[in-house]
Copies of this chain bind each other. A is one copy, B any other.
């Protein structure tokens, strides 16, 4: 079309503009709000997981360790949001390890406490539905899966977690180690996590972590793990 037509024809230009495809907005243009985390309650008493995990450990783990991750996650997320609103990209990027650590700590502990249960709430009951089938497919048997899970836990060098995960593309199960508070994100979905940080067991098991990795199976909530499957 001749440019002189567009230059002289306001109506034509307006019509073209309206007909142009709208750029898809991938984000909200309203002001961001803060979604401050709060410490979720446990669905059981602190002492309810004994003798696998002592009441003192559960109380400290929840009210001190998890609470601190919640508090610090809220601080860090606010700092990041503020940095981004002020256009301070460098500051936001510098805060990312802290977000991974505290945000990951909050995610991990939330999932962990949910995937534990007292015996009288089904803790320790092996899975029976689709998760049981998938475990058999990928590991041969529930016992073989446990053996690999325990090996993964025992092999952590430093602080970390082992998770039964599901591959988001293939649906396949896997067992993976995550260092420090790195959360299960990206390629995998977390199904069941076990905390291998020393604070998770030291008051009761001291250096005998192999015992903890053996006893904890008695309080695993496989129903919750199965519900996390996709």
**Residues of A participating in the B interface, judged by any CB pair closer than 8 Å:** 60, 64-65, 68, 97, 101, 157-160, 179-181, 197-199, 202-203, 206-207
Contacts and interface: CB of A to CB of B under 8 A. Distances in A.
B199 A197 contact: no
A64 B207 contact: yes
A206 B63 CA distance: 12
A203 B201 CA distance: 10
Contact of A158 (B60, B65, B159): B159
Contact of A181 (B157, B179, B199): B157
Contacts of A160: 158
Contacts of A159: 158-159, 198
Given A60-B207, A159-B159, 18 more contacts: A60-B206, A68-B207, A97-B157, A101-B157, A158-B159, A158-B160, A158-B179, A158-B180, A158-B181, A159-B198, A197-B198, A198-B198, A198-B199, A198-B202, A199-B207, A202-B202, A203-B203, A203-B206
Contacts of A203: 202-203, 206
A80 B202 CA distance: 32
A203 B199 CA distance: 9
A180 B157 contact: yes
Nearest to A207: B64
Contacts of A207: 60, 64-65, 68, 199
Contacts of A158: 158-160, 179-181
A60 B203 CA distance: 12
